[in-house]
């Protein structure tokens, strides 16, 4: 379990580096989807299956809005990839920074604190995320409504911004 979690954490950091280097909006959106998928896999590995599914659906809805906005405003015929020399220098600087910070904070690291919620009790009949989901809908229901309203408002704002001079959203900039 420890090695799988380390692999998922490394993939999460590499996805964040892919987003931070941001050579083109297409690749940045792909990096964000990778980060969302790996983050939800980490949640599933720790016993939050339903919450990770809800989070992934929200991320994919947000990524649809971001990708539509970035693809409409930055239509490049030949976008830069991560392996171009200018972008590769950013990637290498970010990787070097992550390695240096990780080496600085790695002393005193104890891997035994990664305990799955379902492993705390031997014969538990409830999964760890069900109580959290019930609490989220009961106490945080108004926040879910506000977040849904903001996503809908963001969708309309993006569609209005990409509309241009009444030519439609699909146009070459």
Tens digits of residue pLDDT in 52-97: 888 788 777 777 777 777 677 666 677 777 778 888 888 899 999 9
How many domains does the chain fold into?
1
Read off the pLDDT band of 129 (50, 70, 90): low
Residue 172 lies in a domain: no
Residue 32: what pLDDT? 80
DSSP tag of 47: T
Residue 171 lies in a domain: no
Residues of the domain holding 135: 2-107+124-161
Q: Is residue 166 part of a domain?
A: no
Give domain status of residue 14, yes or no. yes
Q: What is the pLDDT of residue 100?
A: 92
Is residue 173 a part of any domain in this protein? no
For residue 46, is it within any domain?
yes
119, part of any domain: no
pLDDT at 147 over 90: no
Q: Who's near 14: CB < 8 A, 6+ residues apart? A: none
CATH code of the domain covering residue 61: 1.20.120
> Per-residue pLDDT for 48 more than 60?
yes
């Amino acid at each position: 379990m420890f090695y799988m979690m380390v692999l998922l954490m490394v993939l999460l950091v590499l996805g964040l580096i892919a987003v931070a280097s941001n050579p083109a909006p297409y690749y940045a959106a792909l990096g964000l989807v990778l980060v969302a998928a790996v983050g939800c896999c980490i949640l599933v590995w720790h016993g939050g299956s339903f919450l990770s599914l809800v989070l992934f659906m929200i991320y994919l809805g947000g990524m649809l809005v971001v990708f539509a906005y970035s693809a409409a405003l930055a239509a490049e015929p030949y976008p830069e990839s991560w392996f171009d020399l200018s972008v590769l220098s950013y990637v290498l600087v970010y990787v070097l920074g992550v390695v240096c910070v990780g080496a600085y904070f790695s002393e005193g690291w104890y891997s035994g604190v990664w305990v799955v919620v379902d492993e705390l009790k031997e014969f538990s009949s409830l999964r760890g995320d069900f109580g959290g989901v019930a609490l989220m809908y009961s106490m945080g229901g108004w926040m879910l409504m506000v977040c849904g309203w903001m996503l809908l408002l963001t969708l309309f704002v993006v569609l209005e911004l990409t509309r241009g001079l009444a030519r439609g959203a699909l146009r070459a900039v």
